[in-house]
């Protein structure tokens, strides 16, 4: 499984960041530019994913996103797990959105 740090991800332009946390978590705080597809809805909403882009999957700390990356890799998506997740993003002082 490929991984990326939050600082490496923040340097990428127009990265497809998929946040797999639940809606209430996403509303509290999220990486700017992240799209929400909760893990609990992932299979039903998989068709919303861009098939031709690398997907950077983020959760709170990296555990749920790792499981989603494994799922995506098994389906031939290019997916990368974001190490440390949203907590690491916020703690690094990177731009976040709330609400």
Choose, from 18, 31, 59, 60, the residue flagged as catalytic.
59
The 3-class SS string of the chain reads: CEEECHHHHHCCCCCEEEECCCHHHHHHCEECCCEECCHHHHHHHHHHCCCCCCEEEECCCCHHHHHHHHHHHHCCCCEEEECCHHHHHHHCCCCEECC
User: In this structure, are residues 19 and 97 in contact, taking their beta carbons and an 8 Å threshold?
Assistant: no
59 is catalytic: yes
Show which residues are catalytic. 59
């Amino acid at each position: 499984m490929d991984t990326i740090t939050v600082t490496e991800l923040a340097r990428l332009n127009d990265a497809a960041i998929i946040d797999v946390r639940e809606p209430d978590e996403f509303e509290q705080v999220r990486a700017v530019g992240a799209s929400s597809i909760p893990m609990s809805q992932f299979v039903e909403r998989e068709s919303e994913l861009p098939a031709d882009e690398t997907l950077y999957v983020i959760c709170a700390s990296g555990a749920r996103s790792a499981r989603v990356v494994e799922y995506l890799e098994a389906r031939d998506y290019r997916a990368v797990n974001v190490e440390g997740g949203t907590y690491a993003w916020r703690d690094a002082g990177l731009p976040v959105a709330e609400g």
